[in-house]
Structure 1
């Protein structure tokens, strides 16, 4: 971290601290981690972007079935590539210090695959498929041997979820409905975390 401390002025560190759930020391550590992903590219230039491919080399994202979605949601350019500030936002939201309400809001965006601001049947099928080892619900072959659920099982699970959580019976979850479900999940905050 020695070199990282000279990368930012005190004012910049204070701004990052004010805009995240991190201390100055954690901001410097995050920058060090970001720089290790591409030491040849990253310096003090806040506009340098790392590719989604590089970001997915982080063990925490590589092991996460939503790693690509996380990169896309936090990418200011919406292509999955991230600047240091995008990366810092991502790590801040996944930190222990981030409130559950912030984690819930970002989880909703990550799970909203089609970007329509609702979690419809297709979004929920994709979430379930990724959680059990497949990729996307639109690709039945994604439910391969590593997946313990059949397409019919996924459909049944999504139907049950909508039956329980879709309070206005419109066949999809609005953010308020998703938030209501997450408020009843005490372990959600613990599972929606990445440690620096």
Structure 2
């Protein structure tokens, strides 16, 4: 998961003086997450950049989220949209600062594996039924392959889905429940490899160098 960075001028002083909507004190967020106070402060600088990349209202909209993760705000992306929906804890169509930090905390290398496992389950449970159905897994596998610019045949995708279900669906009812998912993850820890972002642990020293230049520049009027 990458993030976009703009080399455009910073927001005007009046905007910089205003706290972003949903702002919470770093000490409060640090106490509730895997981040330190300094890391939360660094995340706030990143949040301000992202939340002013297109709409400039101090909130991260879905288009800005897609731009940050995949360097494009155009067109739907099942993976990006699903992650956005899970970050949007208030279900109001935008991500506030507190939501941003709490959700990103799950990807911190020091975050409990149980939190990563639960988030990954929700990621695949597209319809929110409390189970992962075969079609949901198939849709997400295809979305992840598209996001990675990988092309597999339909038969190869089916093999991935069938193999996953043969291992995870222990009671053979055609769906994976949370307990089965937990057991599957224990036996297949690599299934959570995308649930940790190493740079989050060093964000106070790597920010903003870890952030990639992207099409954000097109929206801020600065050419590449």
TM tier relative to shorter chain: 0.7 to 0.9
Question: Pick from 147, 151, 172: which aligns with 1:147?
Answer: 151
Partner Cα distance (2:161, 2:89) in 1: 31
SS of the equivalent of 1:157 reads: helix
Question: Pick from 157, 160, 172: which aligns with 2:160?
Answer: 157
Specify whether residues 191 and 146 from structure 1 end up closer, same or farther in structure 2 by C-alpha distance, changes over 3 A only.
closer
Question: Pick from 192, 195, 217: which aligns with 1:192?
Answer: 195
Gaps of 5+ in 1: 43-48, 136-144
Shift of 1:188: 4.2
Please say if residues 120 and 192 of structure 2, whose CA atoms lie closer than 8 Å, have aligned partners that are also in contact.
no
Alignment match, 1:57: 67
Please say if residues 130 and 178 of structure 2, whose CA atoms lie closer than 8 Å, have aligned partners that are also in contact.
yes
How many pairs were matched up?
173
Shift of 1:122: 1.0
SS of the equivalent of 1:103 reads: helix
Partner Cα distance (2:60, 2:30) in 1: 22
Please say if residues 21 and 97 of structure 1, whose CA atoms lie closer than 8 Å, have aligned partners that are also in contact.
yes
Shift of 1:154: 2.5
Question: Pick from 50, 57, 62: which aligns with 1:41?
Answer: 57
Partner Cα distance (2:88, 2:159) in 1: 33
Alignment match, 1:91: 104
Gaps of 5+ in 2: 1-12, 72-76, 201-224
Specify whether residues 159 and 110 from structure 1 end up closer, same or farther in structure 2 by C-alpha distance, changes over 3 A only.
same
Specify whether residues 187 and 52 from structure 1 end up closer, same or farther in structure 2 by C-alpha distance, changes over 3 A only.
same
Alignment match, 2:132: 119
Partner Cα distance (1:76, 1:181) in 2: 26
Please say if residues 51 and 61 of structure 2, whose CA atoms lie closer than 8 Å, have aligned partners that are also in contact.
no
CA deviation string 1:53-103 (max 9, x = no partner): 112222xx2279722211101202336521111111121111111111110
TM-score, structure 2 normalization: 0.67
Query: Which one has more relative contact order, counting CA pairs under 8 Å at least 6 apart?
Result: 2
Partner Cα distance (2:192, 2:162) in 1: 25
Alignment match, 1:182: 185
1:31 aligns with 2:35: no
Please say if residues 74 and 80 of structure 1, whose CA atoms lie closer than 8 Å, have aligned partners that are also in contact.
no
